[in-house]
Amino acid sequence: MIPKTVIKRIMLKETKKHGMKISKESLEKMCEQIKDVGVEISSQAKTLAKHAGRETVNESDVKLVIK
């Protein structure tokens, strides 16, 4: 998973542009949401790869899921 420090850095970069801060709860929610989205994309990409008769998820599988 993506380290919480990386997500915090991204959030701070965006919020500081507007003179804002982030709460601990918002960071936790963002981490949870990113994990959930990653799991869902991975699951759907795995299904596409299996349907294509492959054991490997390719970049094209991930791209198709994201679209």
The residue assigned the tokens 């997500």 is 7
Q: How many CB atoms are located within 10 Å of the residue 66 CB?
A: 10
User: What is the number of alpha carbons within 13 Å of residue 35 lying toward its C-beta?
Assistant: 10
Q: Tokens 């970069």 identify what position?
A: 13
Q: What is the pTM of this model?
A: 0.81
- pLDDT tens sequence for the chain (67 residues): 789 999 999 999 999 999 999 999 999 999 999 999 999 999 999 999 999 999 999 999 999 999 9
DSSP 56: S
Fold of 4-66: Histone, subunit A (1.10.20)
Distance CA 58, CA 21 (A): 38
The number of residues in the chain equals 67
